[in-house]
Amino acid sequence: MSRQKILKVISRITTYLLFVLFIVTVFMVISFRASGGEADLFGYQFKSVLSGSMEPEIQTGSIISIELGGDMTRFEEGDVITYRTQDHMLITHRVVQEMEDGQQYMTKGDNNEEADSEPVLAQNVVGKYTGFTVPYVGYVMNFANTPQGAALLLILPGLFLVGYSVVTIWRVLGQVEGSKNKGAAEKH
């Protein structure tokens, strides 16, 4: 394969990747902004983890997927659940004890020395951790929820696409000019 064909393939792949990145970023920012940071996708929500209480399984700054709905009294010892505290904060910890036929749970962060002081009521459980985690993306998603972050994450990929398009057009025009000059030189 010639060098020019390889560059053309790389160029197309780069264009498609930038376009996909742009579309995904726009979708994520809009869905997070529209839902107040709790976008729901096919019964799952993505949550940012901002503490190290569940390390090493869930790293600080990761996003995790939780399965929403269902019977919130179904959890057993060892399940990882996300629940809302009295202060309306979301916590993701492991169930260490089921109490009152699943109406309450004692939880503990894997990295914490002791169990949480207050039992979690089943009605405060938001969902169950699915085991899906993406490291460091939580930092980006939290930044995306700020006005500056939303603007930057929408504008930056767009600028990359426009810049890449300008470079591509410039190259094509240079090739067209080069072939015109070459054709004119051959006629003389």
**Are 24 and 57 members of one domain?**
no
Q: Is residue 187 part of a domain?
A: no
pLDDT above 90: residue 105? yes
pLDDT-derived band at 41 (thresholds 50, 70, 90) equals low
Q: What is the mean pLDDT of residues 7-24?
A: 82
Q: Among 35-49, 82-96, 148-162, which stretch is predicted with the lowest mean pLDDT?
A: 35-49
**Are 13 and 71 members of one domain?**
no
Residue with tokens 């504008």: 155
Number of domains composing the chain: 2
Q: Is residue 180 part of a domain?
A: no
Q: What's the pLDDT score for residue 125?
A: 92
Q: What is the mean pLDDT of residues 33-48?
A: 70
> The domain spanning residue 47 has which CATH number?
2.10.109.10
Q: What is the mean pLDDT of residues 127-141?
A: 84
**Are 2 and 88 members of one domain?**
no
The contacts of residue 124 (CB under 8 Å, 6+ apart) are 83, 84, 85
Q: Is residue 179 part of a domain?
A: no
**Are 119 and 160 members of one domain?**
no
**Are 86 and 114 members of one domain?**
yes
Amino acid letter at 60? T
**Are 17 and 89 members of one domain?**
no
Are the beta carbons of 60 and 92 closer than 8 angstroms?
Answer: no
**Are 6 and 26 members of one domain?**
yes
Q: What is the mean pLDDT of residues 104-127?
A: 91
Higher pLDDT, 141 or 80: 80
**Are 76 and 87 members of one domain?**
yes
Query: Which tokens sit at 117?
Result: 């002081």
pLDDT-derived band at 129 (thresholds 50, 70, 90) equals very high
Q: What is the mean pLDDT of residues 117-146?
A: 85
Higher pLDDT, 22 or 93: 93
- pTM recorded for the entire structure: 0.62
Q: Which of 2, 51, 53, 62 is catalytic?
A: 51
By residue range, what is the domain housing residue 124? 39-138
**Are 96 and 162 members of one domain?**
no
Are the beta carbons of 35 and 53 closer than 8 angstroms?
Answer: no
pLDDT above 70: residue 38? no
CA distance 88 to 24: 29
**Are 52 and 127 members of one domain?**
yes
CA distance 157 to 27: 12
Q: Is residue 97 part of a domain?
A: yes
Q: Is residue 44 part of a domain?
A: yes
Q: Is residue 13 part of a domain?
A: yes
Reply yes or no on whether 51 is catalytic: yes
Q: Is residue 184 part of a domain?
A: no
**Are 46 and 129 members of one domain?**
yes
Q: Is residue 182 part of a domain?
A: no
**Are 43 and 123 members of one domain?**
yes
Q: Which of 119, 138, 157 is the last residue of a domain?
A: 138
pLDDT above 90: residue 108? yes
CA distance 37 to 116: 26
